[in-house]
Structure formats: structure tokens, C-alpha cells
Structure 1
Amino acid sequence: MNAVQADQASVTQTPGWRRMMPLWILLVLFSLPVMAAWWFYLNPDQLPTGRKNLGELIEPVVALDERFALRQADGAAFDPAQLHGKWTLVTLSSTGCADACRGQMVDMRQIRLAVGEGRYVVERLLIVPQGLSVDATAEEFPGMHVALIGPEALQSLQAQLPGPDSADSRMLIMDPMGNLMMAYAGDAPAKHVLRDMEFLLKASRNWVKGAGYGHR
């Protein structure tokens, strides 16, 4: 048997689980920040600060996926997967982006800047009903994603959020796997959202750092 045949035989004899091992390792590493954030959020006593969430946990989480048929301003499909891997500040408006909504747009921009280096893993998303013009809002807040949602999908989404909350506009937090996991009342102060974002980002960093030490 020559060297080439020996190599081929070795590959053939390698168990399937060993060949898949690198893929499983990558999947686990990708999910660590989300798992860490959830663990520390549900067990805040595990962090030295001992802070508790100021928003309301969405239980169960709501995956922002193709069920809601989100659209871009030009009518093309909006793919929420483009936000995966990042924490996303979301403003959900049921009547268009009026004064309250625009105020939350400003708040989201300031919150993202306030988390310092964490801003590189924080995105912003505005969800408004279909049929509304959002060009001016998009131009005023560069870097913000905008998605349009149909009336039935909007009603379905709102029904899955904790409440009741009669506000026309409210803020949410979406985790890096595309799940809406935290909701705020329409009149919640921006500093509450900022504290929760700082908590989530810190929890993610601590978990990743600890995992790194454990694999040295």
C-alpha cells in the first residue's frame, strides 16, 4: 500500500464524530456569550455587582424570524439573520415613528455610544407598520436598520410580548441568536436599558474570558 492509499484509508477509518468535532466546537463557542448572558441574568448573584434586570424578561423568548415577513423600505425581504452575532436594541412602533418613537431612536443611539467598546457588538433596529414612509427617519439615524411589518404579524408579535402595554412605541433587546428577550414599558427611562445592556455585555465578556482560561 503506497502513501496515498494509506492516507485515504486513514480518512475512511476516522469515526464520523471525530470529523464533525471542529464544527461542534465552533457551534458551542458561538453560543457561549448568549448562554452566559442568560445565566448571569437569571442568577445575578453570581456577578460581583449583584445587579438585577430593569426590563421584563420575555418568557419564552420570541425568535424574530421569517414568520413575521419583515420588509425593507424598498419592499425587499428584510433578513433578521444579518443581526445575528450582535446584541440589538429594538424599537417596536405600532403607529409609525412619532415623537415617542423618535425619542427612543435618540435613546438607542446614545445607549450604543455609552457602552464604549461594547458598541461594536450592538446594533439598532426600528420596526414599524407597512405603508409608512421611514426615509426621513433612516436618514436622521444613520446605521440604524429599519424593517416594516404587516398588521397581522405586528398583532402576533405584540401578543407574545409581556404586557399589557398600551404605548405606541416600546423598546426591546434582541440577543445575538435573534431572540427578543427583554421588553420595556413605553415610558421606561433610557438609563434602565443602558444598565441592562451593560450587564449583558459584561456577562458575555466574563463568560468568554473564563472559557478562554479554562482551555489554555
Structure 2
Amino acid sequence: MNPSLTLDDTQLRRRNRGRLQLILILAVVFGPMILATSMYKLNFWVPQSRSYHGELIANGKTPADLGVRQDAASQRWQLLVTAPAVCAADCQQLVYLARQINIGLNRDANRAEHVLAAAQPLPAEFQAQLDKDYPRLKRFALDTGAQDASLQQGTAPQLWIVDPHGNLVLRYPAGSNGKAILGDMLQLLKLSHIG
């Protein structure tokens, strides 16, 4: 007696059901990875809303790409004000704003510092005010010739948030809302365990 070489209907249904289950398992495991990769590469279904107020700089640029000449990298978050031209009223307002944001961080104030990088010598009156009222302000030289063209800084002063690894994170133009910048800074410090 030879066993039948053909499969009956129940065996065919079981085999088809097993194949379908395998396909579903593979789809559940690999489907999200394929979808996420496609969304990233083809830039579709990407949310347009955001929770930050500045311009996101997510390309690995550092203050050196702005032309800032620091002696050593800081281990803290920085509120960096760059002044490619004369530090006039809008620049001075950003320096004041950076200090106020640092103070507004309350218990996290020691995780951040405020910094001024100026391309030209500061006006004597402002220099005296900084020496008197801003004892913790770090000051560096700014070489406008060494700026990376992709950052498009121009000649207007700007405020930058720099992470403890030395990466530029967010950029704000002069006249930005201080409460919005403080909110962004608090959110970064809340999410970060560095600095």
C-alpha cells in the first residue's frame, strides 16, 4: 500500500494558513521598519508641526563653523550671541536676553552659560557695563572670514543654543521672544542628561 502523493483539501488549507501566518508575522516585524525608512528617505508623512521656536540647526555644525575662537569646548549648554558687525543696540539686547534666560533657568542655571563672540572691539561704554554687570559672561573673538557659508549668518547679531558636545542646536535672530527661547532651553535641559 502506497500512501497517496496528493494532498487532500484539509492539508492544503493548513499549508496555506501556515504560509499566510508566516507572511503576516514578517509583515508585522519588517513592515514598520520599511515604512519608517521610506518616510525618512522619501520625506512623506513627516509632521510639519514643531515644538520649538528657533531655527533648528541639525547638521553637526559647531561654533567653530561660525568663526568663534574658543580656547576649549565647554561642558555646559551655551547661550551664544554672535556679533559679526559692531555690537550695537540689537546685539546688546541679545546679550542681556541671554543672561536673563540663564537666570530664568532657576535650578538648572548652572547647566548653562552665556557667551558673547564679537568680530569687532566692543564700544567702551558697553565694555564697562559688561565688566561691571556681567561677571560670568564669557567672551571670545569671532572671525567672520572663517564662517561656514551654509549657516548664512550675515551681519546681524544672533543667539545660538549650543549643546555640551559643541553642536549648534537652535538659532534665533535679534528681537526674538525671550519667553519662547527660555521655553526651548528648559525643554532641552529636561530632555537632556548631559551638561
Q: State the TM-score, normalized to the length of structure 1.
A: 0.58
The equivalent residue for 1:91 is 81
The equivalent residue for 1:174 is 162
Distance 2:68 2:163 in 1: 19
1:22-55 C-alpha deviation (Å, 9 max, x unpaired): xxxxxxxxxxxxxxxxxxxxxxxxxxxx971111
Report the Cα offset of residue 115 of structure 1. 1.1
1:95-137 C-alpha deviation (Å, 9 max, x unpaired): 1221111111111111111111110110111011044457425
Identity %: 27
Matched AA of 2:138: H
Identify which of 123, 130, 133 aligns with 2:113: 123
The equivalent residue for 2:184 is 196
The equivalent residue for 1:144 is 137
Which is richer in helix? 1
Contact 1:94 1:169 in 2 (8 A): yes
Distance 1:104 1:115, change over 3 A: same
Matched AA of 1:136: A
Contact 1:105 1:141 in 2 (8 A): no
1:35-114 correspondence to structure 2 within 5 Å: 52-65=51-64, 68=67, 70=69, 78-81=70-73, 83=74, 85-114=75-104
Q: State the TM-score, normalized to the length of structure 2.
A: 0.64
The residue matched to 2:90 in structure 1 has which SS? helix
The equivalent residue for 1:74 is none
1:148-183 C-alpha deviation (Å, 9 max, x unpaired): 122312xx24x232x5x6662111000001111211
Contact 2:68 2:140 in 1 (8 A): no
Residue ranges of structure 1 left out of the alignment (5+ in a row): 1-49, 71-77, 209-216
Distance 2:139 2:155 in 1: 20
Q: How many residues align?
A: 145
Distance 1:118 1:166, change over 3 A: same
RMSD: 3.0
Matched AA of 1:173: I
Rg comparison, structure with higher value: 2
